[in-house]
A and B are shown apart, each in its own frame.
Chain A
Amino acid sequence: MASDDGRRRGLPWRRWNNILHRDLGYFCVALTIIYAISGIAVNHVHQWNPNYRFERVTRHFEAIPVSDRETMVAALVGALGLPGPPRRSFRPSPEQVLLFYDGWNVEAHATEGRAIIERPRDRWLLRDMNFLHLNHGKGLWTWFADAYAAALLLLAITGMLVLRGGQGLAGRGKWFVLAGTVVPLLFLLFQRYL
């Protein structure tokens, strides 16, 4: 009888725990996928651009002499067969002219007769994921992201308590928790303190 009472007393909190774990898990699915994919993408920012791919085409033309900017811009538009005058232009040096169009631009070296036409393209879906993950939007998204982080914390804690007995934290679970704790500690030890 005493044992039955104890089980009855122990059930509610675990049931609540499991309900919370299950429903928070459902709620966090989309954002967890987004954060995971974006996390991998931005981890490798030194090897690739996680937001854009740049289409760059090199074109050659007959060299144009250095003169004033307007004259050089008009000559480059003709020489490269560009669709009209640019919205804006800039000369970083007497020989170089940058021509800016809507969504693309041209970097021309007039006296060398060489130009690079560059057009940045969003990486489909990935840029949106990075926008959310890296909180580029700021403002209200910051609060939502904080709430998501708190939900992840709850997921971690309630996840440890879903099962009991040999499959639970008191059983094999503790070894996995221990392993998951030791790995980052080892990285800290070797990469930061030794």
Chain B
Amino acid sequence: MPLPRLGDSTGTVMKNLTSRLAAALAAGLIVLAFAPVLAGDAPGKVYGQGLSGGETVAISQLLAHPDKWIGKTVRVEGTITGVCEKRGCWITIASDKEFEDLRIKVDDGAIVFPAEAKGRYAVAEGVFTKIEMSLEQTRRYKQHHAEEHGEEFDPASVTEPMVFYQIKGTGAVIRD
């Protein structure tokens, strides 16, 4: 059978090809549209791997005895007090104790937390980690923090390297 000429819109092969492309597109869109239904009825929006069902540890406990928890997978929950503005690559969760919060850091792009999550309630899981900065890193970190908050900063005021703790996040559920 001779092939239809290029541009011959009445050609049978062309019709079939176009129809198949349209059908594939339509099927894909239908599947995508129903994906949330197929994914199940989670209480809140699930990010990353979600939650594995482990026990929740109070943030105050983690920060009071950090060495006990380093390297362990933990689950924490509380109000989201901050969100990475540009990449959504971290959130901070309020501790059960005043003036404390804990950062949940995720790999860029692995999970993207939306800016509007601030003030919502999160349950997050990951590995509790100790971060030891050099003096230079500490100065850069504090300078960046001061710039973000419109505060003055003198690098000479930083004389000690910073040590802080965070969770390398693998999953979270955020709800109202």
Contact = CB atoms under 8 A, between A and B. Distances in A.
A87 B80 CA distance: 12
Given A87-B119, A100-B79, A105-B119, A93 B85 contact: no
Contacts of B87: 45
Given A19-B17, A90-B101, A91-B98, A101 B115 contact: no
Contact of B94 (A18, A87, A90, A135): A90
Contacts of A103: 116
A93 B101 CA distance: 11
B31 interface: yes
A45 B32 CA distance: 28
B39 A23 contact: no
B81 interface: yes
Interface in A130-172: 134-136, 139-141, 144
Categorize the interface residue count of chain B. Answer: 20 to 34
A88 to B, nearest CB: 5
Contacts of B17: 19, 23
A90 B86 contact: no
A69 B86 contact: no
A15 interface: yes
Nearest to B100: A92
Contact of A93 (B6, B25, B99, B118): B99
B14 interface: yes
B98 A15 contact: no
B112 interface: yes
A101 B32 CA distance: 32
6 contacts: A88-B79, A90-B81, A92-B81, A94-B99, A134-B109, A135-B109
Given A23-B17, A120-B115, 12 more contacts: A12-B3, A15-B5, A45-B87, A50-B86, A51-B115, A86-B119, A92-B101, A93-B99, A136-B112, A139-B39, A140-B32, A141-B32
Interface of A: 12, 15-16, 18-19, 22-23, 27, 45, 49-52, 54, 69, 86-88, 90-94, 98, 100-103, 105, 120, 134-136, 139-141, 144
